[in-house]
A = this chain, B = another copy of it.
Amino acid sequence: MHERYVIRRLGECKVPSPLESSFFVEPGGGILVDATVAGCKACKGEPPHLEQAGPRRSVYFDPVSCGAAIVTCGGLCPGLNDVIRALTMVLWYRYGVRRILGLQYGYEGLVPSFGHEPIILTPEIVEDIHQKGGTILGSSRGPQDVPTMLNFLVANRIQLLFTIGGDGTQRGALEIVQEAEKRQLDLAVIGIPKTIDNDVSFTDRTFGFETAIAMTRAPLNAAHMEARGARNGVGLVKLMGRESGFVAAYATLASSDANLVLIPEVPFRLEKVLTWLEARLARKSHALIVAAEGAGQDLVTEAGTDASGNRKLGDIGLFLKKAITAHFREQKVEVNVKYIDPSYTIRSAPASADDSVFCFHLGEKAVHAAMSGRTGMVVGLWNGHFVHVPMEEAVSARKKIDPAGAFWQSVLDNTGQPSRLM
């Protein structure tokens, strides 16, 4: 196995799996990193691949004595409760784990001085939570002191820690793994990557993304209606996407009403946008513009980072609204800019049916991985298969839209916008 894809193991699996299952992942399998012919041919010997996720015939931990803990960090995302539910259900019913703690308000929940009491999770508690958005555990941004968190886990006899969160969260989880190794603790830390932006490496799709796309329909349609409802109406919608424009681009394909999409991967000049808009309004009297929140950050730079360590973003939506209004006022042309920022409504929605199923699979695979003594990894979906991805790989780089690739070309074709606005 290529070294960069090797998963950390706490030790040998000696306990027969308690699962009454007819299916187990057999050793030796693996999903190719590159599923093209070229990829297969290129490699001599063992091709680079990712370990397949799923239940193993033998496990590392004795479920009876196991304690598990779940934490959700960062911003809301559809499906958080589904993942909490899946983790709890599979731990409880399939492995017989009876001590499951829901840690409150992100990593703060592992730091006693905050005073957040863990919630005892049982099937009764989680039964219906997937029907609601948000997270029943609450969340927070930012890291906490690693030794303190380790002490908390030891004190609460936790062997299985599930970290649901983005880049920063999984980096924090990795530090917990490293500290646990130093202390030689039997602690399995499994991440479930959470980013509504869908920009995690080695995962085709992140949970909540599909729901987010569905939830963009109403605001995009609203902006379109507002634009058409007024002479020279300009609908302007800001969508999620700090460093990758997947939400904005997919939303555009799904709605088919947008005339211009701005994403972080494709820089633009303001004057070019304004010139384009003039021509569009002259021709059609209305326009719909979609901007990912990370688009055009060179135009709206702001200093500093937020508590999660994310670069602070300037507000490209308000910037465009003001710039457009000012430009046409100068030209003595009346325009009606209607600006919508639907982010909170999108990210707090309950998961769609398909996302619910996806979250169930993610939670289930995470439990299988943890029980088998794997650690320092996240569950991913790659080339259509659930896989184990080392945390280092998962956080190494973001997935981005290739401005020279097939997908962006489809988006350009869909909007009819110029391929360059520089």
A interface residue numbers (CB < 8 A to B): 20-23, 25, 28-32, 35-41, 43, 46-47, 49, 52, 54-55, 76, 85, 90, 93-94, 105, 108, 116, 130-135, 138-140, 204, 210, 213-214, 216-219, 221-223, 225-226, 228-231, 250-251, 253-256, 338, 340, 342, 344-345, 348-349, 352-354, 356-357, 360-361, 364, 382-385, 403-406, 408-410, 413-414, 416, 419
CA of A356 to CA of B254, assembled, Å: 5
Per a CB cutoff under 8 Å, which of B37, B46, B133, B253 touches A357? B253
CA of A133 to CA of B76, assembled, Å: 27
CA of A225 to CA of B137, assembled, Å: 11
Q: Which residues of B contact A345 (CB under 8 A)?
A: 218-219, 222, 340, 342, 345
17 A-B pairs in the complex with CB atoms less than 8 angstroms apart = A20-B419, A22-B409, A29-B37, A36-B49, A40-B43, A40-B47, A76-B225, A85-B256, A94-B413, A213-B357, A218-B345, A219-B344, A254-B356, A338-B344, A352-B352, A360-B414, A364-B413
Q: Which residues of B contact A133 (CB under 8 A)?
A: 221-222, 225
Question: A48 CB to closest chain B CB, in angstroms?
Answer: 9
Contact assessment for B357 and A254 in the assembled complex, using a CB-CB cutoff below 8 Å: yes
Contact assessment for B38 and A225 in the assembled complex, using a CB-CB cutoff below 8 Å: no
Q: Which residues of B contact A342 (CB under 8 A)?
A: 342, 345
Contact assessment for B35 and A138 in the assembled complex, using a CB-CB cutoff below 8 Å: no
Q: Which residues of B contact A221 (CB under 8 A)?
A: 133, 348
Contact assessment for A214 and B353 in the assembled complex, using a CB-CB cutoff below 8 Å: yes
Given contacts A93-B416, A410-B361, contact A225 B356 (CB under 8 A): no
Contact assessment for A37 and B49 in the assembled complex, using a CB-CB cutoff below 8 Å: yes
Q: Which residues of B contact A20 (CB under 8 A)?
A: 419
Q: Which residues of B contact A354 (CB under 8 A)?
A: 210, 213-214, 250, 254, 352, 354
CA of A345 to CA of B221, assembled, Å: 8
CA of A404 to CA of B26, assembled, Å: 14
Per a CB cutoff under 8 Å, which of B229, B344, B406 touches A23? B406
Contact assessment for B47 and A360 in the assembled complex, using a CB-CB cutoff below 8 Å: no
Q: Considering only CB atoms, which chain B residue lies closest to A256 in the complex?
A: B130
Question: A193 CB to closest chain B CB, in angstroms?
Answer: 17
Question: A272 CB to closest chain B CB, in angstroms?
Answer: 18
Question: Which 7 pairs between the two chains have the least Cβ-Cβ distance?
Answer: A134-B225, A254-B353, A225-B348, A30-B37, A222-B348, A35-B35, A214-B353
Q: Which residues of B contact A46 (CB under 8 A)?
A: 37
CA of A39 to CA of B30, assembled, Å: 10
Q: Considering only CB atoms, which chain B residue lies closest to A38 in the complex?
A: B29
CA of A213 to CA of B210, assembled, Å: 13
Contact assessment for B230 and A406 in the assembled complex, using a CB-CB cutoff below 8 Å: no
Q: Which residues of B contact A37 (CB under 8 A)?
A: 28-32, 46-47, 49
Q: Which residues of B contact A108 (CB under 8 A)?
A: 231
Q: Considering only CB atoms, which chain B residue lies closest to A138 in the complex?
A: B229
Question: A292 CB to closest chain B CB, in angstroms?
Answer: 16
Contact assessment for A76 and B226 in the assembled complex, using a CB-CB cutoff below 8 Å: yes
Q: Which residues of B contact A219 (CB under 8 A)?
A: 344-345
